Structure 1
Amino acid sequence: MAPHDHADHAHAPHDSSAARHLPGHIAAALARAGSGTDSAGQPWEGRDLGGEGNPLHNFDDDNGLADPGYEAAIADLAAGTGSEEAVHRALGTARVFIPVVASLAEDQIGEHGFVEDKEADMALVTITAPDGRTALPAFTSVARLQAWHPEARPVAVYAARAALSAVSDGAQLMVVDPGAEVTFVLRRPAVWALAQQREWIPSYKDESHLPLLRSLAAGEPAVVGITAAPGRGVASRAADGRVLPGGGPGPELRLEVTFRPGTAAADAQACAARIQAALGADRAFAEAVDSIELALASAPA
Structure 2
Amino acid sequence: MTGPDGVLPGHLRSIQPTSQFADDDGSADAELAALLAGHAEGTVPLRDVVARLAVARVLVPVLAELEVGAAVAHPDRPGQDLHVEKEASSGVVALEAPDGRRALPVFTCVDSMRAWRASARPVPVEAARAALSAVGEDWALLVVDPAGPVPVTVPRPAVWALAQGTTWRPALVTTADGLAVDDEVRAAVRLAAEPVQHVVRVDAEPGRSAEVAVVLGIDAGLDRAGLDVVLRQVNARLGASDVVAERVDSLELRVGAVR
Aligned Cα root-mean-square deviation (Å): 2.9
Deviations 1:8-51 (A, max 9, x none): xxxxxxx9x9xx93633555x5xxxxxxxxxxxxxxxxxxxxxx
TM-aligned CA distance change 1:218 to 1:228, over 3 Å: closer
User: Are 2:99 and 1:99 aligned?
Assistant: no
1:269 Cα offset (Å):
4.1
| Counterpart position of 1:24 | 13
Deviations 1:119-153 (A, max 9, x none): xx853122222222221110111111011111110
| Counterpart position of 1:230 | 206
In structure 1, how many angstroms separate the alpha carbons of the residues matched to 2:250 and 2:236? 13
**TM-score, structure 2 normalization:** 0.73
Is residue 222–residue 263 contact of structure 1 (8 Å, CA) maintained in 2?
A: no
Equivalent positions of 1:73-112 (< 5 A) are 73-102=35-64
| Counterpart position of 2:139 | 171
| Counterpart position of 1:70 | 32
Is residue 226–residue 255 contact of structure 1 (8 Å, CA) maintained in 2?
A: yes
SS in 1 for 2:60: strand
1:184 Cα offset (Å):
1.1
Unaligned runs of 5+ in 2: 66-88, 173-180
Q: 2:95 aligns with which of 127, 133, 143?
A: 127
1:176 Cα offset (Å):
0.9
| Counterpart position of 1:278 | 237
Deviations 1:214-237 (A, max 9, x none): 33454246434322223335xxxx
| Counterpart position of 1:195 | 163
Based on CA coordinates, which of the two structures has the bigger radius of gyration? 1
**TM-score, structure 1 normalization:** 0.64
In structure 2, how many angstroms separate the alpha carbons of the residues matched to 1:255 and 1:226? 7
AA aligned opposite 1:231:
G
In structure 2, how many angstroms separate the alpha carbons of the residues matched to 1:165 and 1:147? 24
| Counterpart position of 1:148 | 116
Which has the higher relative contact order, 1 or 2, with Cα contacts under 8 A spaced 6 or more apart? 1
Is residue 95–residue 105 contact of structure 2 (8 Å, CA) maintained in 1?
A: yes
* Matched residues, number: 221
Unaligned runs of 5+ in 1: 1-14, 30-54, 104-120, 234-250
| Counterpart position of 2:73 | none
